[in-house]
A and B are shown apart, each in its own frame.
Chain A
Amino acid sequence: MAAIAAATPLLAARGVTVELGGQPVLRGVDLEVRAGEVVGLLGPNGAGKSTFLRAATRLVPLSGGSLEVEGTGLERITRRDLARAVAVVQQLPEAPGTMLVEELVLLGRNPHLGLLSRESPHDYAVAVDAMRRVGCEEFARRPLHTLSGGQRRRAFLARALAQEPRLLLLDEPNANLDVQAQAEAFELLLALARDGVGVLVAVHDLTLAAAYCDRVVMLVEGRVIASGAPADVVTSEVVARVYGDRVMVIPHPQSGAPIVVPAVMERSDA
């Protein structure tokens, strides 16, 4: 692991600045993701988390700073090569309702296929493997519009895995999932990281991020205000500064990881 960590970072953002419609959304963000680690991108609504993920796949232009994927400037990578290295799971991705799960997952092989080539047995095997890994093989032949929110998320995650990415970007992969499913989703990310994938995940839930991420980056109004180990970032001071005084941070009874809870001292009807 040490050797990989010492190598070129999968994603290196230096002073990334993005303006949307004249409004600054990211103001000089520095961030690195290395192979085998799960990095959490934290911050309140509108902090720029999603914009950063979009910038990292060249969907929005930078007005300053630089982004490199595996040491190469983003602007010098073709879409196809970028999609072979980086896969994205958007928050609420759209797709035709009649598309089957397996058809969706197979689209993840697109960056590996030339104009003239069809999916080979290997491509099918990778897609099947991806579906097995996220546990969506039992509904592989169902159209997307028949799926529950959680199943749908797994289908799109399987598509991202079918790309065989070295870097995986996820936007709120736990939104609308029940507690158990959230834990399962993050455990899957940990397993991917153990296989050497770099994971950058935008999360609202500080507790979840603190429990699963190797490092976290706290973004506020487009700036990084704290980054490092979860225990150093998810602290009472930082949380109070970012979110206000209605929350408090307590240690997990077993692991000691920070847990963020509402700071309610007494119920008004008590």
Chain B
Amino acid sequence: MSVEAPQARPLGASAGAGRRALASTGPIAVCTLLLVGVAVLSLTQGAASIPAGTAVAFVLNRLPFVHIAVDAPASWETIVVDVRLPRLLVAGVVGASLAYSGAAYQGVFRNPLADPYLIGVASGAALGASIAIVSPLESSSYEFGWVPLLAFAGAAVAVLLAYGFAQSGRTVSNTALILAGVAISSVASAITSFILLTGGDRAQPILSFLFGSFNTATWARLTVGTPYLLAGAAVIALHARVLNVLQLDEEQAAQLGVDVTRSKLIVLGAASLIAATAVAMAGVIGFVGLVVPHVTRMVFGGDYRRLLPLAALLGASFLIGTDVLARTLLRPQEVPVGIVTAMVGGPFFLYLLRVRRLGGF
């Protein structure tokens, strides 16, 4: 009994708040350090092996009022700042986005198997991108051209269709939403496959979209996409406590003052916006949105106010890390990053399943 005594007043107002602050900043700090470490690693790896100190100096020199003398070939600076840095940032932003929106999807559906592609984002985006790629539209893949634009539109249309079909009266049941999403996805995937099979050589870039790639990572894509990501993330962050309440079940959430239908619509809309933007940036990268939020929940618990930012940090680290692998495994050839995320993430997930039972739900 004496052991339990200190826990007797766990919510004691001020002391409890202090401990909670510590409990939430600790993991954030650890995950941020991890992200910085992986990011630096990513800057050094590639065809030219550049020392970490030099690479970091190049990046810091781009900040205002920073001047670090660097004794290195000028071509290195181009490689680090113009090639590796945007690629690193896109990988990080996409990883964070997919993990963040995956966490929100899992929260709304109260299901560990939910991911950001559950109700049509990926298949809709793939169809949109395919149409852009085989159409006569100019599809310069190095700027924010028609491919990402139609990918985004395709994802939006798929999700809206799924939601529309699932709606009955004022309410939308999760089951109906998932089933409608599966149906819409299979139709979209069928059309994409048809385009791929009949499109000949023109259709080849579709494959790289389907596996995801950071080859097309540019500053332009980052600057166009980021506002949508930030807006979606802010909306979800405001609903973090509502997501906590929704973990009970929808009846209890309603009895605790949550307008369930409205909250689901808002959170799913924002999460789909984030996922659609991420897919438009880098193609369909699987597994991040499923596994990263899940692992985050297993390690750090199910409070969405903590889970969401942590999942974003870990998602960024994970995707930057797998991109390093994708670039270096079969050098000089590059493995599509979506293949690496699945190859790395799958076994790791199985390992976690064996070590700890599927927790959190």
Residue contact B13 to A124, C-beta cutoff 8 Å: yes
A94-B248, A94-B249, A99-B247 given; A110·B256 CB < 8 A: yes
A163: chain B residues at CB < 8 Å are 256
Contact with B along A123-140 (1 / 0, CB 8 A): 011011001000001101
Residue contact B8 to A93, C-beta cutoff 8 Å: no
**Contacting residue for B9 out of A58, A78, A115, A137, CB 8 A:** A137
A108: chain B residues at CB < 8 Å are 256
Residue contact B257 to A95, C-beta cutoff 8 Å: no
B212 at the interface (CB under 8 A from A): no
B232: chain A residues at CB < 8 Å are none
B249: chain A residues at CB < 8 Å are 93-94
B201 at the interface (CB under 8 A from A): no
B341 to chain A, nearest CB (A): 26
Contact with A along B250-266 (1 / 0, CB 8 A): 01101111110000000
B71 to chain A, nearest CB (A): 50
A110-B245, A111-B257, A138-B4 given; A102·B11 CB < 8 A: yes
Total A-B pairs in contact (CB under 8 Å)?
Answer: 97
A59 at the interface (CB under 8 A from B): yes
Residue contact A127 to B256, C-beta cutoff 8 Å: no
**Contacting residue for A102 out of B10, B247, B255, CB 8 A:** B10
Closest to A54 in B: B251
**Contacting residue for A79 out of B8, B258, B359, CB 8 A:** B258
A107-B245, A107-B248 given; A141·B302 CB < 8 A: no
A257 at the interface (CB under 8 A from B): no
Residue contact B252 to A98, C-beta cutoff 8 Å: no
**Contacting residue for B257 out of A79, A96, A124, A131, CB 8 A:** A79
A177 at the interface (CB under 8 A from B): no
Best-buried of A54, A107, A138 by chain B (most CB within 10 Å): A107
Closest to B305 in A: A118
Closest to A103 in B: B303
B17 at the interface (CB under 8 A from A): yes
A88: chain B residues at CB < 8 Å are 252, 255
Residue contact B8 to A137, C-beta cutoff 8 Å: yes
A61 to chain B, nearest CB (A): 10
Best-buried of B7, B10, B251, B359 by chain A (most CB within 10 Å): B10
Contact with A along B1-40 (1 / 0, CB 8 A): 0001001111111101100000000000000000000000
A154 at the interface (CB under 8 A from B): no
A51 at the interface (CB under 8 A from B): no
Contact with A along B317-361 (1 / 0, CB 8 A): 000000000000000000000000000000000000000000111
A21: chain B residues at CB < 8 Å are none
**Contacting residue for A96 out of B10, B12, B258, B360, CB 8 A:** B360
A42 at the interface (CB under 8 A from B): no
B301 at the interface (CB under 8 A from A): yes
Residue contact A57 to B254, C-beta cutoff 8 Å: yes
B72 at the interface (CB under 8 A from A): no
A102-B10, A116-B238, A128-B9 given; A96·B256 CB < 8 A: no
Residue contact A111 to B302, C-beta cutoff 8 Å: no
In Å, the complex CA distance between A94 and B110 comes to 12
A62 to chain B, nearest CB (A): 15
In Å, the complex CA distance between A3 and B10 comes to 39
**Contacting residue for B10 out of A54, A57, A87, A140, CB 8 A:** A140
In Å, the complex CA distance between A127 and B9 comes to 11
Closest to B297 in A: A98
A204 at the interface (CB under 8 A from B): no
Contact with A along B104-122 (1 / 0, CB 8 A): 0000000000000000000
B244 at the interface (CB under 8 A from A): yes
In Å, the complex CA distance between A107 and B243 comes to 11
A161 to chain B, nearest CB (A): 13
A57-B254, A79-B254 given; A98·B301 CB < 8 A: yes
The 7 closest A-B pairs by CB, nearest first: A83-B257, A111-B257, A121-B13, A80-B257, A128-B11, A88-B255, A124-B11
**12 A-B contacts (beta carbon < 8 Å):** A79-B258, A79-B259, A93-B248, A95-B248, A96-B302, A96-B360, A98-B360, A111-B257, A116-B238, A124-B16, A138-B4, A141-B7
